[in-house]
Amino acid sequence: MMAADGPETVAIASGQVPVCWRRSARARRISMRIDARSGHVILTLPPRARREDALALLRSHSAWVAASLARMPQAPRWHDGGEVLIDGRPHLIRHCPDARRGVWIEDDVVHVSGDAAFLVRRLSAFLREEARVRLGAALAALARQAGLRPTRLSIRDTRSRWGSCTADGAIMLCWRLVMAPPPVQHYVMAHELAHLRHMNHGPDFWMLVDRLTPHRRAAETWLRREGGALLRDMQE
């Protein structure tokens, strides 16, 4: 798949929207979706499809595009004096330009040293490491309790999925999950661990999930309402 470097601003009936173009040898028709992280409209074209036809599709769905973009949650804004969620709790962000400690937490305050231009990048890297440590320990504990043995854990930055489990037992968790409340984290980990026994979403799978965690319903509701904001690209 080939992608353009950045979004192109396209005028439609509802206003101007950012559009990213994709060419895919596997695509059989022109498709359109809204990227949950960036808020861009993604137009995917088969190799020989014309841009004009893709634009016609976009403009014929102008109302849907406008409504979808309006429903998207606001991206978190990270700046000195702002807040970042860790385990679902807001932590004050304090920029410490003269410090030499990187990023550290004291009394629900996240201190970020260095140039302000790199605050978002440094804070993101810090949270990824926190996710590796915190989520890794929690997953290991839940797996031991359940008698399940994942082959490995990877922490990634995914665009739509909070986690996944492969047929060989490898579990992936999105690092942004570290910003969610612990019951939500517990549910996502239970969901992926359950796939070690059931690589489907059948009744036996959901029965196992419910045995592993009491948080399923509340967590699913939280993820529907709040999860989208955590998947958005962070802004200063």
| Distance, CA of 234 to CA of 181 (rounded, Å) | 19
CB 112 within 8 A of CB 119: yes
Domains of the chain from N-terminus onward: 2-71 (no CATH), 83-231 (3.30.2010.10)
CA count, 13 A, side-chain hemisphere, 106: 7
State residue 74's pLDDT score.
77
**DSSP assignment string, 141-208:** HHHHHHT---SEEEEE--SS-SEEE-TTSEEEEEGGGGGS-HHHHHHHHHHHHHTTT-SS-SHHHHHH
Q: What is the pLDDT of residues 77-100, one digit of tens each?
A: 899 999 999 999 999 999 999 998
pTM beyond cutoff 0.85: no
Q: What is the pLDDT of residues 177-187, one digit of tens each?
A: 999 999 999 99
**DSSP assignment string, 19-30:** EEEEE-TT-SS-
| Distance, CA of 28 to CA of 227 (rounded, Å) | 31
State residue 100's pLDDT score.
86
Q: Looking at residue 232, what DSSP letter applies?
A: S
Helix (H, G, I), strand (E, B) or coil at 134: helix
Of all residues in the chain, the percent with pLDDT exceeding 90 is 79
**Structure confidence at residue 5 as a pLDDT band (50, 70, 90):** low
CB 23 within 8 A of CB 45: yes
Structure tokens at 41: 């409209």
Q: What is the pLDDT of residues 18-69, one digit of tens each?
A: 999 999 999 999 999 988 777 889 999 999 999 999 999 999 999 999 998 8
Q: What is the pLDDT of residues 133-184, one digit of tens each?
A: 999 999 999 999 999 999 999 999 987 799 999 999 999 999 999 999 999 9
To the nearest whole number, what is the mean pLDDT of the chain? 92
State residue 90's pLDDT score.
96
Amino acid at residue number 3: A
**Structure confidence at residue 2 as a pLDDT band (50, 70, 90):** very low
Q: Which uninterrupted H or E stretch holds 3? A: strand 2-3
CB 162 within 8 A of CB 171: no
State residue 68's pLDDT score.
87
R_g of the chain computed on alpha carbons = 20
